[in-house]
Structure 1
Amino acid sequence: MRSICFYFQVHQPYRLKPYRFFDIGDDHYYWDDFLNRSVIRKIAQKCYLPMNSLLLDLIHQYPGQFKVTFSFSGTFMDQLEAYAPDVLESFQRLVKTGQVELLSETYGHALAALKSKDEFSSMVDQHREKIQALFDGYTPKVFRNTELIYSDQIGAMVADMGYKGILTEGAKHVLGWKSPNYVYQNSINPNLKVLLKNFRLSDDIAFRFSNKTWEDYPLTTDKFINWINAIPKSEQVLNLFMDYETFGEHQWAETGIFEFMKALPGAVFNQTDFGFATPSEIIDQVSPISAIHVPTPISWADEERDLTAWLGNDLQDEAFDRLYDLENMVKKTNDPDLLRDWNYLQTSDHFYYMCTKFFSDGDIHSYFSPYDTPYDAFINYMNVLSDFVLRVKEKLKEPAIA
Structure 2
Amino acid sequence: MRTICFYFQVHQPFRIKPYRFFDIGEDHYYWDDYSNKSIIRKVATKCYLPMNALLLDLIKRYNGKFKVTFSISGVCLDQFEAYAPDVLASFQELVATGHVELLSETDAHALASLTSEEEFARSVERHKAKIKRLFNGYEPKVFRNTELIYSDKIGAMVSKLGYQGMLTEGAKHILGWKSPNFVYQNSIDPNLKILLKNFQLSDDIAFRFSNKTWSDYPLTTEKFVNWINAIPKEQEVLNLFMDYETFGEHQWAETGIFEFMRVLPEAVFNYTDFDFSTTTEVAKNANPIAKINVPVPISWADEERDLTAWLGNDLQKEAFTKLYELEAQVKKIEDADIQRDWNYLQTSDHFYYMCTKFFSDGAVHSYFSHYDTPYDAFINYMNVLSDFILRVKNKEKELVGVQ
Are 1:138 and 2:138 counterparts?
yes
CA distance in 2, matches of 1:392, 1:336: 12
Question: What's the CA shift string for 1:96-127, capped at 9, x where partnerless?
Answer: 00000000000000000000000000000000
How many residue pairs are counted as aligned between the two chains? 402
The 5 A counterparts of 1:22-37 are 22-37=22-37
How much has 1:63 moved relative to structure 2? 1.0
Q: Counterpart of 2:214?
A: 214
Q: Counterpart of 2:367?
A: 367
Question: Structure 2: which 5+ residue stretches go unaligned?
Answer: none
How much has 1:359 moved relative to structure 2? 1.0
The 5 A counterparts of 1:278-289 are 278-289=278-289
Q: Counterpart of 2:343?
A: 343
Q: Counterpart of 1:13?
A: 13
Q: Counterpart of 2:329?
A: 329
Q: Counterpart of 2:305?
A: 305
The 5 A counterparts of 1:247-286 are 247-286=247-286
The 5 A counterparts of 1:384-399 are 384-399=384-399
CA distance in 2, matches of 1:77, 1:280: 22
How much has 1:64 moved relative to structure 2? 2.4
CA distance in 1, matches of 2:199, 2:29: 39
Q: Counterpart of 1:72?
A: 72
Q: Counterpart of 2:151?
A: 151
Question: What's the CA shift string for 1:154-190, capped at 9, x where partnerless?
Answer: 0000000000000000000000000000000000000
Are 1:242 and 2:238 counterparts?
no
How much has 1:92 moved relative to structure 2? 0.3
How much has 1:401 moved relative to structure 2? 5.1
Q: Counterpart of 2:41?
A: 41
* TM-score w.r.t. length of structure 1: 0.99
Question: What's the CA shift string for 1:43-77, capped at 9, x where partnerless?
Answer: 00000000000000000001120000000000000
Question: What's the CA shift string for 1:303-353, capped at 9, x where partnerless?
Answer: 000000000000000000000001011111121110110000000000000
Q: Counterpart of 2:58?
A: 58
How much has 1:20 moved relative to structure 2? 0.2
Q: Counterpart of 2:163?
A: 163
Q: Secondary structure at the match of 1:110?
A: coil
Residue range with higher mean Cα deviation, 196-205 or 56-65: 56-65
Q: Counterpart of 1:316?
A: 316
Identity of aligned residues (%): 76
Q: Counterpart of 2:198?
A: 198
Q: Secondary structure at the match of 2:30?
A: coil
**How big is the alpha-carbon RMSD for the aligned residues of Structure 1 and Structure 2?**
0.7
Q: Secondary structure at the match of 1:309?
A: helix
The one-letter amino acid of 1:108's match is: A
Are 1:181 and 2:209 counterparts?
no
Q: Secondary structure at the match of 1:398?
A: helix
CA distance in 1, matches of 2:281, 2:69: 11
The one-letter amino acid of 2:230's match is: A
Question: What's the CA shift string for 1:188-247, capped at 9, x where partnerless?
Answer: 000000000000000000000000000000000000000000000000000000000000
* TM-score w.r.t. length of structure 2: 0.99
